[in-house]
Amino acid sequence: MTMSCDDAGTKPVRFEVFTGAGQRREWSDEAKARIMAESYAGFESVSAVARRHGLRPSQLFTWRREARKALDAVGAVFVPAVIEQPAPAVVVPALPPRRRARRPCADGMVELEIDGVAVKIGRGADAGVIAAVIDALKVSR
């Protein structure tokens, strides 16, 4: 929601209105386990997982700490290990950089050379197109 004030020099203010009873929520053990598993998956931060589920990050960290303590109290925990053979290394010889005779650029022309790829940019070229070409060169390397 955005509101403007009549005071001189103020900017619109954004604020959120939280509705609801504000009561403590009860989470089932299954829900806690699922949320904790998401936080350990490594796809996003613990804080992001907590926010997505309407939790404070400190609550999720507390659940994780309590779960670790419970596992430590039980003793050693074994998990299945999967051992895969590493893929054979493929060695690609580096190509020597191409040598070209240097020609002076025309007035107002820019020439970029990145890892052996030369790009010539003429006068009046669109800045967005130039940025896209440079980004494409970065990605392909």
Task: For each of the domains in the chain, give its residue range(s) and CATH number, in order of start.
Answer: 25-77 (1.10.10), 110-140 (no CATH)
Per the model's pLDDT, the better-predicted residue between 116 and 26 turns out to be 26
Which one-letter amino acid corresponds to residue 81?
A: A
Query: What band does 24 get if pLDDT is binned at 50, 70 and 90?
Result: confident
Q: Give residue 5's pLDDT.
A: 53
Q: What's the CA gap between 119 and 136, in Å, rounded?
A: 12
> What spatial distance separates the first Cα and last Cα of the chain, rounded to whole Å?
45
Q: Is the pLDDT score of 68 beyond 90?
A: no
Task: Quick: pLDDT tens for 39-52.
Answer: 988 889 999 999 99
C-alpha–C-alpha distance, residues 91 and 55, integer Å: 48
* CA 102/CA 106 separation, integer angstroms: 12
